[in-house]
Structure 1
Amino acid sequence: MIFGDNHLTLHHTPTAYTLTFTPEPALDLVDKTGSTGLLKVHYATAWSATREKTSAGIKEVVKPFDWSYTTSYRGTETPGLGGQKLQRDDNARIPVELLQRRDPILFADEVVLYESELDDNGVSVLTVKVRVMEQRMLVLCRFFLRLDNVLVRVRDTRVYVDFGEERVVREYTAREGVFGEVKKKLYMEGLMPDQITIAFRDANQIAHLLPVVEHEVESVCLEAETGQTQEGR
């Protein structure tokens, strides 16, 4: 299911800098060649063996396509009038301590960009959440994949905006783990079988159990007066 009208757009009026999250470019990053290695459901081997016995002499051509709809989408950026754009910044970080403060939330929402139940073999969903406070804002674009008895994958893009400094920090973290290993860790945390089933439906309960496979931080300072991008401020 593609929710084509859903989107989240951040726009800085003085510089016209824009960062938007929409379904189409996210889906465009899904592997269409099979070069990244296509995932298979847990019963694929047994199913293929049965087909070999019952379909002798029949050759089938399958076009490679990542049917898990995995994407590394981090948003679509339009640079500012002075060329302001996100650049890699290993010294930048999102100030978690400020986000944990109980500041009044002026606006909050969540939109689903696309979702699939993978033919009843799990779930693949891309969502965007936003939380706006008086001095700052946080956006979380999360891709969550659970392929039952095979794999769990979480790819998070966090965008932090400091209104006072007019600074944007984007942090991308990709996590991935074997389904069985994640299940063992949930047992070790003391969860009962029914609680584990529920946990596998919620990325918030299992993301911290997955090993990090990729991490990158970028930043940009938006200054209309000079039109210059300052890194690491």
Structure 2
Amino acid sequence: MNLPLISSMNPIMSTYPTPSNPSSGVQTFTTPNKTWQISTRKLPILKAGPIEALNTRIGIPIPEMIFGDNYVRLTHVPSGWTLDFNAADALDRVSKTEEGMLQVAVAEEWKETRKGQQEGIEGVVKKFDWSYSTDYRGTTTTAAAAEGKPGEEGWKDTTAELSPIRTDLLSRPDPILFFDSVDLYEDELADNGIALLAVKVRVMPERLLILSRFFLRLDGVVVRLRDTRVYVEHATNRVVRQYTAKEEGYEVLQEKLRRTGVAGVAEALRDANVVGPLLRIVEEGTDVFEVG
């Protein structure tokens, strides 16, 4: 099922951000009924020291461009419940075993570009999914989580039910009260493609939508999308989260694009919005969280 994407609209930027200031680079919007709050943070890519610390924490080499201070956060104001999207937790969901790895020749090229990061973690690197594919669906924090219980515990699987995301309402030309787009990490895979994780959010007067999208294009091998959509009606305490994973072989997708008559197949392969409808669904699911 194709759901509406999030259009572009640039919010007002603050003064030049610095990582040492917790409020630096942060933008916050609260819904008119004071129930939900969206916060985003955008800072420059990490420097050597924080990269080394993150590398040690996660146990795998870090992408070329890592925005480790960035986040998109949804907060239920009355309870303090949050759903957070950040680079560190997303990378921690990358496979550290042989399962799911892309066993292709360009993996060796990639390892050559990461020699400096491999010291001390050689055993992990050999089993690491160097495409940075992640099934990350956000980090949930609740009162129970603060007491040491998993934040994911309160999500109820509703995959078997009809999709509760109101695509008809999202398609309406409602005014956009707040929009932002936040990059979490990016890697060009030794010049063989791109792996990109980014999050967009838009808030309308009665509802909001967050789209966390991982896009992988490995030239000659595969194109992959992993989308997490979070939907909230402001008047409710219900958070809907829908995850969809799609992919297709590179040459198969090339042929599909040619059959559609698209102008410029090579350029189209770089556009997730163009290739998305042509990819096979390999996994999908929906869950909800009743806050409060």
1:86 CA displacement: 2.0
Paired residue for 2:113?
none
Aligned twin of 1:112: 183
Indicate how the Cα distance of structure 1 residues 14 and 81 shifts in structure 2: closer, same or farther if over 3 A, else same.
Answer: farther
Q: Sequence identity, in percent?
A: 48
Say if 1:42 and 1:67 are closer, same or farther in 2 by CA, change over 3 A: closer
For 2:273 and 2:105, locate their aligned partners in 1 and report how far apart those are by CA, in whole Å.
Answer: 23
Q: For 1:81 and 1:13, how far apart are their aligned partners in 2?
A: 16
Q: Are 1:175 and 2:246 matched, yes or no? A: yes
CA displacement at 1:220 relative to structure 2 = 2.0
Find the counterpart in structure 2 of residue 76 from structure 1.
Answer: 139
1:200 CA displacement: 1.1
Q: Which amino acid aligns with 2:77?
A: T
Letter in 2 for 1:10: L
**Partner deviation per Cα, 1:4-33 (whole Å, 9 max, x = no partner):** 111001110212211000000100111112
2:275 to 190, 201, 206: 206
SS of residue in 1 equivalent to 2:169: helix
**1:36 CA drift (Å):** 2.2
Q: Find the counterpart in structure 2 of residue 165 from structure 1.
A: 236
Call closer, same or farther: CA 1:94–1:114 in 2, change over 3 Å.
Answer: same
Residue aligning to 1:137: 208
Correspondence for 1:67 = 130
Cα shift readout 1:156-181 (whole Å, capped 9, x = no counterpart): 00000111122210000000110011
User: Secondary structure of 1:32's match?
Assistant: coil
Kindly indicate whether the alpha-carbon contact (under 8 Å) linking 2:95 and 2:101 is maintained by their aligned counterparts in 1: no
Partner of 2:158: 89
C-alpha distance in structure 1 between counterparts of 2:220 and 2:184, whole Å: 25
Which residue is equivalent to 1:196?
Answer: 265
RMSD between superposed Cα atoms in Å: 2.3
Q: Deviations over 1:77-97 (max 9, x none)?
A: 113569983211132421100
Match of 1:6 in 2: 70
Q: Which amino acid aligns with 1:74?
A: R
Structure 1: stretches of 5+ with no match in the other structure = 48-60, 224-233
Q: Which residue of 2 aligns with 1:27?
A: 91
Q: For 1:69 and 1:37, how far apart are their aligned partners in 2? A: 9
User: Which one has the largest radius of gyration?
Assistant: 1
Matched-pair contact (CA < 8 Å) for 1:39–1:68: no
TM-score (norm 2): 0.66
Structure 2 counterpart of 1:89, which letter?
A: T
> SS of the counterpart of 2:258?
helix
1:43: Cα distance to partner? 9.8
Aligned partners of 1:127 and 1:141 also within 8 Å? yes
1:152 pairs with 200, 213, 223, which one? 223
Point out which structure has higher relative CO (alpha carbons under 8 A, 6+ apart): 1
- The alignment's TM-score, normalised by the length of structure 1, stands at 0.83
Give unmatched runs, 5+ long, in structure 2.
1-64, 110-122, 146-150
CA deviations 1:141-198 (Å, max 9, x no partner) are 0000000010000000000011112221000000011001110010001023xx2111
DSSP-derived class of the 1:206 partner:
helix
Cα deviation 1:57-112 (Å, max 9, x = unaligned): xxxx8722111011000000113569983211132421100000000000001010
Secondary structure at 2:225's aligned position in 1? strand
